[in-house]
Amino acid sequence: MRSTILWSALLLWVLTGCSTPISRAPTPLDWLQHRARLQQLTHWQASGKLALRSAERAETAALNWRQDGPQTRLRLSGPMGLNSATIYSDGRQMEVQQGDELHVWDVSTPGALASSTGWDLPLPALPYWLKGLPWPQSPVQRLEMDPVLALPRTLLQDDWEIHYEHYRQFEDLALPTRLRIRRGDTSVRLIISNWQVLPG
């Protein structure tokens, strides 16, 4: 019971976070130049926490995301039902390793991630959304910019709404450190504590 209360409190803290606005940079950014630099950022690593919530479930995990060009390696650990899972994708196939179990899907298979983890998330789009970029494979339904920073504040693609709540400077790049992704009853809250630009 005590453990349930503790994790419920942690989930509430991660989901609500702080409601402070996007931090201000000394000078506004040029969005076109910034977007071009982000498009060139294809090798990076990000770590932090995520909280996932649907009508039926609510779970949290620590995450370590490594992107090497088209290759994605996502490590989730913590109190989630995934119990320390590694998700790997080369842009064509997706592998989910949970303990001794390994499952492989074609990335184009609808609901591949949902069938393996129970969460319906657009894995191919996430590397772009995490950086603050629209996914190039889908039309942009709406893009609202912060009037001072000239960085995305709200992005809508495939009916997924991404809210960028906070940015910080990493390696001379302004990158998101707090964002929410939502569609229907499914929502994801990400708090990125560290971004690292990798050689490549």
Q: Which amino acid is at 57?
A: R
CB 141 within 8 A of CB 157: yes
- Would the pTM count as exceeding 0.85? no
Tokens 């970029």 correspond to what residue? 133
Smallest CA-to-CA distance from 24 within 167, 152, 182, 200 is with 167
CA distance 125 to 100: 28
Q: Measured at the alpha carbon of residue 123, what is the angle toward residues 86 and 182, in degrees to the nearest 5?
A: 115
Q: What is the pLDDT of residues 170-192, one digit of tens each?
A: 888 999 999 999 999 889 999 99
Smallest CA-to-CA distance from 119 within 74, 175, 165 is with 74
Residue-level pLDDT at 4: 39
CA distance 60 to 200: 31
H or E stretch including 181?
strand 173-183
H or E stretch including 7?
helix 2-16
Read off the pLDDT of each residue in 4-25 and give the average, rounded to a whole number: 38
Read off the pLDDT of each residue in 39-67 and give the average, rounded to a whole number: 91
Q: How confident is the model at residue 112 (pLDDT cuts 50, 70, 90)?
A: low
Query: Could you tell me how many residues make up the chain?
Result: 200
Residue-level pLDDT at 174: 93
Architecture of domain 2-18+27-197: Clam (2.50)
Smallest CA-to-CA distance from 191 within 109, 180, 19 is with 180
